[in-house]
Structure 1
Amino acid sequence: MANLSRYDPLNLARIDPFGDIDDLFKGFFVRPALFEGQPQMQIKMDVKENDNAYTVHADIPGVKKEDIHVSIEGNQVSISAETRMEKEEKEGEKVLRSERYSGKVSRSFTLAHDVDETKAQAKYNDGVLELTLPKKAATSARKLAIQ
């Protein structure tokens, strides 16, 4: 079986045969590490439509409802949430480990019709945000008479 090697477009060793330049940038383009027990926040959504409204179910577990913000501008809807977690393990009088995590996540999407923000409703229960977004009544186009 042939050995597979990963192609690295940022590998400067093919330019510099001695590899000195490659060592300079090693680890520079690496994503930050995710530590054990650190939550990775994402907002996962289901969007449904009927004749009168949109219904959105967004999974935002472990967040207080006071830390969730929803904004509506025309047909653009934005959901953002903040979470804080503190964990401290003690043994006797000494603190052996103390961890803190703070994060913010947001999600925006565009709907086909404008939303009537005066009639929109939001409920948060068991980690699921439910939005009921009524469609704005279509305004009829008015023709102007040319004089």
Structure 2
Amino acid sequence: MTALTRLQRFDDMFPEFFRRFGRQMQLTDEAPADIRIDVLENDKEYVVRAEIPGAKKEDIHVSVEGNFVSISADIKREREEKSGSRVLLKETYVGSASRGFSLGHEIDDKEVIAKLEDGVLKLTLPKREGSRTRAIAIQ
């Protein structure tokens, strides 16, 4: 019997306990797993939309080197539930999230535009002139 099988059987013995315990410990609505991105491309530029809920613009860092883009953010969230004057639940999340990716063309880092609105970072990444992909003939 493997350790996983033993754990599953233990969970089956006390299902209500684990359901209640698991529900109290979940921070899935509060803790970001990663930075989700959408990348669009046209002839002149890439447009990246990155979801970073809970991050302030001064806590987001973007860097571009050649065709590599790096996005990182320090995130702090607090949630408090009260009943009258008593605090019933207080959850705090402090952490960071990061994402890096390569694009098909080098980026003109002097012309990059970054805007944050409602937890969505929008990057406009112009392609560097003269960095077109060239097909190489095989001899």
- Using the TM superposition, give the Cα deviation of residue 70 of structure 1 relative to its aligned residue in structure 2, in angstroms: 0.5
2:50 corresponds to: 58
**Residues in 2 aligned to 1:48 and 1:92: alpha-carbon distance in whole angstroms:** 49
Query: What letter matches 2:26 in structure 1?
Result: F
* Gaps in structure 1 of 5+ consecutive residues: 1-7, 14-21, 24-32, 141-147
> TM-score, structure 1 length as denominator?
0.64
1:137 corresponds to: 129
- Using the TM superposition, give the Cα deviation of residue 39 of structure 1 relative to its aligned residue in structure 2, in angstroms: 1.6
- Richer in helix (by share): 2
The answer to whether 1:40 aligns with 2:31 is yes
Q: In the alignment, is the contact (CA less than 8 A) between 1:74 and 1:115 conserved in 2? A: yes
1:114 corresponds to: 106
Query: What letter matches 1:44 in structure 2?
Result: R
For residues 45-72 of structure 1, the C-alpha deviation after alignment (integer angstroms, 9 at most, x for no partner) is: 1111111111111111222111111111
1:18 corresponds to: none
Distance 1:36 1:133, change over 3 A: closer
1:128 corresponds to: 120
User: What secondary structure, in the 3-state scheme, does the structure 2 residue paired with 1:71 have?
Assistant: strand
User: What secondary structure, in the 3-state scheme, does the structure 2 residue paired with 1:39 have?
Assistant: coil
Q: In the alignment, is the contact (CA less than 8 A) between 1:38 and 1:101 conserved in 2? A: no
* Gaps in structure 2 of 5+ consecutive residues: 8-21, 133-139
Distance 1:134 1:87, change over 3 A: same
> TM-score, structure 2 length as denominator?
0.67
Identity of aligned residues (%): 48
Higher radius of gyration, 1 or 2: 1
Count of residue pairs the alignment pairs up: 117
